[in-house]
């Protein structure tokens, strides 16, 4: 059972007791992502995520790593377009130590100039690595086509130009604006020992927002159709095609996930079977859905040799045309619903999965549905709800990005 406690300063603590395990996962979720950055700040949310691991006023970066290694624990973080999460997984009796270290990183990071300079080079290498991988880069440039004038279209990692400007003052200014009590959820799941929740409230329940704190505002950006081609000396051409879709709070969300599964979400999907299995046009072909608080996208990706690119695009077009004109079959829909239920339940096997689910549910939705409730909602997906999404999504003009040889 998921319990929510709201501290007097507005920080929310979400806990789920799981008695049959001996582990514990805890995460600090912050409603701060790359879409809330100004153009000159592009990439700073991700850079801050890195910097919180680079030492506090009492612990060096090495000491943080050694303390978790010594107890056999794991510590990590990630940044998305809408939120950031710092998390740890440890044995249950190390829960208080884990949250103490996370709190030290969160509140007391030193942001020393030499560490900033060193980590700047690390992130620069991360940017270069992403650009060197065309199967990653094609998705990045696709977003720049979809939302050319909005922060959603800018890379989470930032650019070499913006990265070069970051310093301790910019970091503290950004954190003062976004790392505020109202924007923070502490999610903990596993065998929660007595006193841990009290400890979390002591550490996070009393700090006050800065006078610079800003309210997070959605932009509801308009999707832009268009095409971009990036010439690269590669063996294959990489293509990504995206259509405007629905936000994460849309009541058709489960129908959207089911539709994605049918089109290209797994090995039995239409795209995988028709493009790869029947015609051998590509090794990699799949689709995925991206949903944010206000907007979303449905994306198809594939890679093929230069001589197969036209045939590949033609087959993708044919597959989508068949869906628009004929819809999905009853068998496809029932299979997709069972796949959804299976992946959802199997995905909750570990404490980290529960921590992630509860954290994002509280941060984004403010509600926590039971497993049975989710399964019932999946069962209510109908042919009509899927057909309505096909009409809404696949008839729109897409954005297209291609990376490959001239």
Exactly one of 41, 49, 115, 362 is catalytic; name it: 49
SS3 32: coil
- According to DSSP H, which parts of 133-231 are helical? 134-146, 160-163, 168-178, 196-204
- Print pLDDT tens along the chain (406 aa): 899 999 999 999 999 999 999 999 999 999 999 999 999 999 999 999 999 999 999 999 999 999 999 999 999 999 999 999 999 999 999 999 999 999 999 999 999 999 999 999 999 999 999 999 999 999 999 999 999 999 999 999 999 999 999 999 999 999 999 999 999 999 999 999 999 999 999 999 999 998 898 888 888 999 999 999 999 999 999 999 999 999 999 999 999 999 999 999 999 999 999 999 999 999 999 999 999 999 999 999 999 999 999 999 999 999 999 999 999 999 999 999 999 999 999 999 899 999 999 999 999 999 999 999 999 999 999 999 999 999 999 999 999 999 999 8
Q: Contacts from 264-273 at CB under 8 Å and sequence distance 24+? A: 264/288, 264/300, 265/339, 266/339, 268/335, 270/319, 270/322, 270/323, 271/300, 271/302, 271/316, 271/319
pTM of the model: 0.95
Instruction: Starting at the earlier edge strand, list the strands of the sheet with 296-305.
Output: 226-231, 399-404, 236-245, 296-305, 285-291
Dist CA 354 CA 191 (whole Å): 12
- pLDDT value at residue 217: 85
- pLDDT value at residue 134: 96
Dist CA 187 CA 29 (whole Å): 7
Dist CA 102 CA 94 (whole Å): 13
Q: DSSP per residue over 119-145, as a string?
A: HHHHHHHHHHHHHH-HHHHHHHHHHHH
H/E element holding 50?
helix 44-51
Considering the domain 226-404, what is its CATH architecture?
Answer: 2-Layer Sandwich (3.30)
Dist CA 181 CA 12 (whole Å): 8
Dist CA 38 CA 50 (whole Å): 19
- pLDDT value at residue 304: 96
Topology of domain 2-204, CATH: Cytochrome Bc1 Complex; Chain A, domain 1 (3.30.830)
CA angle 261, 267, 269 (to 5 degrees): 45
Backbone φ and ψ for 119, nearest 5 degrees, come out as -75, -25
Backbone φ and ψ for 282, nearest 5 degrees, come out as -155, 150
- pLDDT value at residue 216: 85
Cβ(87)–Cβ(19) below 8 Å: no
Domain ranges of the chain: 2-204, 226-404
226-404 shares the fold of 2-204? yes
Annotated catalytic, 49? yes
């Amino acid at each position: 059972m998921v319990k929510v406690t709201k501290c007097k300063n507005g920080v929310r603590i979400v806990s789920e007791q799981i008695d049959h395990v001996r582990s514990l996962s805890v995460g600090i979720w912050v409603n701060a992502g790359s879409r809330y950055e100004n153009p000159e700040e592009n990439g700073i949310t991700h850079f801050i995520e890195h910097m919180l691991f680079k030492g506090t006023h009492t612990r060096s970066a090495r000491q943080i790593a050694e303390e978790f290694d010594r107890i056999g624990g794991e510590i990590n973080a990630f940044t998305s377009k809408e939120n950031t999460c710092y998390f740890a997984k440890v044995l249950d009796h190390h829960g208080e130590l884990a949250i103490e270290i996370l709190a030290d990183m969160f509140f007391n990071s030193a942001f020393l100039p030499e560490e900033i300079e060193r980590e700047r080079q690390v992130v620069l290498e991360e940017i270069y690595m992403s650009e060197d991988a065309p199967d990653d880069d094609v998705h990045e440039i696709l977003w720049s086509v979809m939302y050319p004038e909005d922060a959603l279209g800018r890379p989470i990692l930032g650019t070499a130009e913006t990265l070069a400007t970051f310093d301790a003052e910019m970091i503290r200014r950004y954190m003062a604006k976004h790392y505020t009590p109202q924007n923070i959820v502490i999610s903990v799941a596993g065998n929660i020992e007595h006193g841990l929740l009290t400890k979390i409230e002591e550490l996070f329940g009393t700090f006050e927002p800065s006078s610079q704190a800003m309210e997070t505002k959605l932009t509801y950006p308009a999707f832009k159709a268009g095409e971009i081609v990036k010439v690269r000396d590669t063996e294959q051409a990489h293509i990504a095609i995206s259509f405007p879709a629905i936000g994460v709070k849309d009541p058709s969300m489960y129908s959207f996930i089911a539709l994605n599964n049918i089109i290209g979400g797994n090995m039995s999907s239409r795209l995988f079977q028709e493009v790869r299995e029947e015609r051998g046009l590509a090794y990699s072909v799949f689709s995925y859905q991206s949903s944010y608080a206000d907007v979303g996208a449905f994306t198809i990706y594939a890679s093929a040799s230069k001589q197969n690119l036209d045939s590949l695009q033609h087959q993708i077009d044919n597959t989508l045309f068949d869906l628009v004109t004929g819809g999905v079959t009853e068998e496809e829909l029932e299979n997709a619903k069972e796949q959804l239920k299976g992946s959802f339940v199997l995905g909750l096997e570990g404490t980290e999965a529960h921590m992630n689910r509860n954290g994002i549910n509280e941060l984004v939705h403010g509600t926590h549905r039971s497993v049975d409730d989710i399964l019932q909602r999946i069962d209510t997906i109908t042919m009509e709800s899927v057909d309505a999404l096909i009409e809404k999504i696949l008839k729109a003009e897409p954005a297209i990005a291609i990376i490959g040889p001239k």
